[in-house]
Amino acid sequence: MPTPKPSKSAQQKPAQAEGAAALTADLVTWFRKEGKDYPWRRTHDPYAVLVSEIMLQQTQIATVLDRGFYARWMEKFPNFQTLAAASESEVLGAWQGLGYYRRARNLHKLAQVIVSDHGGLFPRDPEVIRSLPGIGPYTAGAISSFAFGLAEPIVDGNIARVLSRLDNDATPVDSTPGIKRLWDRAKELVQATEDPRALNSALMELGQTICKPAKPVCDACPVHHHCLADEPETLPVKGARPEITEVTERVFFLRTGQGILLEQETGSRRTGLWKLPALPEEFSVKPPSVLLKTTYGITRYKVTLWVHEVPGKPTQTWPESHRLIPLDELSALPMPSPYRRALERLLASSGEFRLE
């Protein structure tokens, strides 16, 4: 990746020289006129803000909104009390389709802590917020500023890009010095405004809509006169990406008059979710015929999923984690999306219904 030219930043200090107050004022003015009307921006309810932030951690806004995940969740679990009282199965079922189910489990556990230790009221103190289970620096800052209007910084991928370009800073954003610099800069800016809620929203939205990774729309940028980047598309600089690890998963498909055999995961990141049963180890050398092959990615893994015919002669005895699920109950079960898609394809080939 080319190194940005240092010409502007060599002549003056980073955009701080323009004045944090002037920069934040321009951002807030722009956001108040152009900011998007998301449902979680219409409320200062810390629970609603928390749900949106957890959902958006690894899921696009369009997916959360257009496919109704946020609205359905808020209807089913409108507050900490209803979420805390739900079973894990209910929670995972409501999260189905968003993936990264650890987020749902953490949200469920946090709701139980809020109810048991805080009387159902989310704390306002940033230090207490940061001490809550499953709450990292970004989420703590988001709730503090969006729900309570406190001058707490946030840094996500969009904000890291915006700040790196504003200051023409080529420090790798995923390095220890780079992370510290970004949080220090974000703190300086949020403490320079009278509206932390709007300022943090503005920084995020600027990165989403104008200061995009490729082809930033600099002419439309409300703070382009503050920006020191000579070649904005070369920023931010990131360290080397981890190599992709290839993984193979082999499962089998068994359907009887009672339903489809599924296995409930235990002891893994998918604990509590249902999937096609793993192919027994003794059949891995010479596996049965393949019914379906597909691939999917998760974090740094590329997974090849092989679905085989039933190995050997079907038995009537299965481990406790296995269960024959009637077709009309499949839709209600929490299931990883790759397995749901594979099952849909297998059923579609025999003219069956789609799993909604």
Which pairing describes strands 301-308 and 245-252: parallel, antiparallel, or unpaired? parallel
SS3 of 322, please? strand
- The token duo for 224 is 């382009």
- The token duo for 278 is 């793993």
Q: Is 4 within 8 Å of 231 (Cβ atoms)?
A: yes
Q: Is 262 within 8 Å of 319 (Cβ atoms)?
A: no
Q: Cis peptide before 236, with omega less than 30 degrees from 0?
A: yes
Q: Is 352 a catalytic residue?
A: no
Fill in the DSSP letter of residue 316: S
Q: Residue 30: enclosing H or E segment and its boundaries?
A: helix 20-34
- Sheet of strand 301-308, all strands in order from the earlier edge strand to the far edge: 245-252, 301-308, 290-298
Q: Which of 18, 34, 53, 356 is catalytic?
A: 53
How many residues are recorded in the chain?
356
Cα–Cα distances in Å, from 77 out to 34, 57, 108?
Answer: 31, 19, 10
149, 176, 179, 200: which is closest to 44 by C-alpha? 149
Burial of 226 per CB tally in 10 Å (0-12, 13-18, 19+) = buried
- The token duo for 106 is 């953490």
DSSP E strands, the chain = 245-252, 255-256, 259-264, 274-275, 290-298, 301-308, 322-325
Q: Which residues pair with 261 in a beta bridge?
A: 324
- The token duo for 103 is 């987020």
Burial of 330 per CB tally in 10 Å (0-12, 13-18, 19+) = buried
Fill in the DSSP letter of residue 5: P
Instruction: Please list the active-site residues.
Output: 53
